[in-house]
């Protein structure tokens, strides 16, 4: 098999890198990691061959692919469950549609949460700054959507875990780890996903001191 290399940010705070990492872990693939220092602009250097100059990027032999959703789809299709690999996208087409909807939505909306609860506040120093009015509004939108999406007593979107659970739990952890109140059901969902081995492996990785960039 061609070697797999996942290029991630060197502080391990990119939510997109986390999503790609979890996809590879869930598929139980052998791969190596390469840390790219965004603070030093390494993503712009000629030695970093991602077309988009961003992280994450997946290298499979001499093939390069960026964009975390594209990476998850590529991994799911290249290493299918028919080969005995666990699923990362739901089998049911309607659920798969919603899985993709959630992944797209989390990457394109809720900007105030993404800005006011940046991911370094999850894994480095938490923030004590209250959410702005726009932040509260985004939080209310997220909570309402999660309330519709997640059944009571369930810690996954669907019966089986899927890759959108990693992304959604991370969005909720931006609030939860920073002490913003969330309904009990959503705290339980976020915490359960945080303990999932693939996600826990990302969380518990030793991190170098954070430097803002
Ligand atoms: N939509 C992309 C977002 C990737 C992205 O925004 N990556 C950031 C780090 S979190 C990056 O590479 N920033 C450096 C740059 O754009 O120069 C994905 O899902 O992979």
Ligand 1 midpoint to CA 5 (Å): 17
Backbone angles phi, psi at 6, to 5 degrees: -105, 125
Query: Which is the closest atom of ligand 1 to the Cα of 20?
Result: 20
Q: Provide the 3-class DSSP secondary structure of residue 119.
A: coil
- Does any ligand 1 atom lie closer than 6 A to the CB of residue 38? yes
Ramachandran quadrant class, 110 (left: phi over 0; alpha: psi -120 to 50; beta: rest): left
Write out the E strands in 57-193.
57-60, 63-66
Question: pLDDT (tens digit, 9 = 90+) per residue, 40-50?
Answer: 999 999 989 89
Rounded-to-integer distance, Cα 160 and Cα 183, Å: 22
Please, what is the angle between helix 163-176 and helix 15-26, to 10°? 140
- On whether the CB atoms of residues 185 and 150 are closer than 8 A, the answer is yes
pTM: 0.98
Question: pLDDT (tens digit, 9 = 90+) per residue, 70-81?
Answer: 999 999 999 999
Question: pLDDT (tens digit, 9 = 90+) per residue, 96-151?
Answer: 999 999 999 999 999 999 999 999 999 999 999 999 999 999 999 999 999 999 99
- On whether the CB atoms of residues 152 and 185 are closer than 8 A, the answer is yes
* pLDDT (0 to 100) of residue 70: 98
Give nearest CA residue, ligand 1 atom 14.
54
């Amino acid at each position: 098999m061609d070697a797999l290399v996942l290029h991630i940010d060197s502080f391990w705070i990119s939510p997109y890198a986390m999503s790609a990492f979890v996809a590879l872990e869930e598929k139980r693939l052998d791969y190596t990691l390469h840390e790219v220092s965004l603070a030093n602009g390494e993503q712009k250097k000629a030695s970093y061959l991602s077309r988009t100059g961003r992280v994450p990027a997946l290298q499979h032999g001499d093939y390069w692919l960026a964009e975390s959703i594209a990476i998850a789809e590529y991994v799911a299709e290249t290493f299918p469950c028919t080969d005995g690999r666990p699923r990362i996208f739901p089998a049911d087409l309607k659920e798969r549609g919603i899985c993709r909807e959630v992944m797209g939505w989390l990457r394109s909306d809720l900007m105030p949460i993404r800005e006011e609860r940046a991911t370094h506040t999850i894994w480095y120093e938490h923030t004590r700054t209250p959410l702005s009015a726009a932040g509260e509004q985004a939080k209310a939108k997220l909570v309402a959507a999660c309330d519709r999406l997640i059944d009571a007593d369930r810690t996954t979107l669907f019966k089986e875990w899927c890759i959108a659970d990693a992304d959604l739990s991370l969005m909720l952890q931006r609030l939860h780890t920073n002490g913003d109140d969330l309904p009990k059901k959503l705290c339980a969902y976020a915490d359960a996903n945080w303990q999932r081995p693939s996600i826990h492996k990302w969380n518990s990785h030793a991190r170098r001191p954070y430097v803002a960039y």
